Amino acid sequence: MQRRDFLKGASAGLAASAAVALQGCSKKEMADATSALPTVHWRLASSFPKSLDTIYGAAEVLVKRLDKITGGKFQIRAYAGGEIVPGLQVMDAVQQGTVECGHSASYYYVGKNMAYAFDTAVPFGLSARQQNAWMYYGGGLELTRELFKANNIVNFPGGNTGVQMGGWFRKEIKSLADLQGLKMRIPGIGGQIMAKLGAVPQTLAGGDIYPSLERGAIDAAEWVGPYDDEKLGFAKIAQHYYYPGWWEGGPQLSFYVNIDKWNALPEAYKQAFEAAAAEANVNMLAAYDHKNPIALKHLQAAGVQLHAFPQDVMAAAEKAAFELYEAEAAKNEAFRKIYTQWKPYRDAEIQWFKLAEASYNNFIEK
Ligand code: CA
């Protein structure tokens, strides 16, 4: 198509009707409709530093795909955490319209309402695949969107790390008794559960973890998994690497869009955004599943010792987690509404995965 054809039809009045016209129209009509779409410039605030390249990278996947789909007309510029918005204030910035959209982890905002954790992960919750099932088919998207609507935000799944590792310990953990008084960098609900088990949880930003662990201000630290953990160099100062990260069985990242900005988009751009977000969601998990085994080999070659958490630790943590959810559901209506739908969904997913998936894995993983 000629450049002048783009310009000819580019009046704002045509934009709203353009997307409607996409259905059942000829190639010529479709081209005219697309050419009528406006140029849109948005800013995206990420909660994440560029050094967490796989998580931060979801924003890049989104903006590049939108640029390609719309022939450069829907432009989003991504900013790393702290560049234009502090990493933990992305939800507020999108709510207020300071930026049109963001990329974050909703469990950062459990201080506003613990129910936000369901949009990321709760301890002993869903795996990445189960989270996708719940979000896309199981009512999760509707339930979390209802929660976000009060904050003037529409949310989209925007990546998943898969089950994380349980972190780096200076000394071996042989039983629950070894957690008593142990100072561990573990934020969020996982930290609350660790506290119930007798540990002393700490919240430290990524850059502060290594020096704290090195000088012994903390005894243990969790971060993500082999790929991201290797870059922080924990293997040099804490050789015991535990699994699984039971507090993050399939943590989902999310894109947030300000509702007013969303409603002002032409339908074609909404469709493009939804498709690009879904691509970023799948892409992150694939990237981690590719990168983690390679990094794990490096760590093992460096002498890292892998350990499963003792069964008494796992069992006590699971019990404490569901006690915490029941207590929260009793006093928090938003949490209760999601939890009462989510819990039986989770249990049914687990029964299904236990059958074909687990037996297949158990056989091939020898
Ligand atoms: Ca983590």
Question: Can you give the residue ranges of every domain in the chain?
Answer: 3-160+251-290, 167-248+296-329
pLDDT at 9: 39
161 versus 30: the higher-pLDDT residue is 161
Global pTM value:
0.90
Would you tell me how many other CB atoms lie within 10 Å of the CB of residue 260? 10
Over 60: is that where the pLDDT of 260 sits?
A: yes
**What number is the average pLDDT over the span 57-62?**
98
Q: What kind of fold does domain 3-160+251-290 have according to CATH?
A: D-Maltodextrin-Binding Protein; domain 2 (3.40.190)
HEC profile for 181-203? CCEEECCHHHHHHHHHCCCEEEC
**What number is the average pLDDT over the span 30-43?**
80
pLDDT at 24: 53
pLDDT at 33: 58
Over 50: is that where the pLDDT of 10 sits?
A: no
The percentage of residues in the chain with a pLDDT greater than 90, rounded to a whole number, is: 88
Report the separation in Å between the CA atom of 34 and the middle of ligand 1, taken as the mean of its atom positions.
Answer: 43
Report the separation in Å between the CA atom of 245 and the middle of ligand 1, taken as the mean of its atom positions.
Answer: 7
Report the separation in Å between the CA atom of 176 and the middle of ligand 1, taken as the mean of its atom positions.
Answer: 21
Q: For residue 214, with 0-12 CB atoms within 10 Å meaning exposed, 13-18 middle and 19 or more buried, which class applies?
A: middle
- Render 279-327 in DSSP notation, one character per residue: HHHHHHHHHHHHHHHHHHHHHHHTTPEEEEPPHHHHHHHHHHHHHHHHH
What are the residues whose beta carbon lies below 5 Å from ligand 1 (ion)?
164
For residues 7 and 110, give the distance between their C-alpha atoms in angstroms, rounded to a whole number: 47
Report the separation in Å between the CA atom of 22 and the middle of ligand 1, taken as the mean of its atom positions.
Answer: 43
For residues 24 and 22, give the distance between their C-alpha atoms in angstroms, rounded to a whole number: 6
pLDDT at 347: 98
Report the separation in Å between the CA atom of 246 and the middle of ligand 1, taken as the mean of its atom positions.
Answer: 10
Which CATH number applies to 167-248+296-329?
A: 3.40.190.10
Report the separation in Å between the CA atom of 186 and the middle of ligand 1, taken as the mean of its atom positions.
Answer: 7
The yes-or-no answer to whether 3-160+251-290 and 167-248+296-329 have a common fold is yes
Q: Tell me the sheet residues that pair with 258.
A: 153
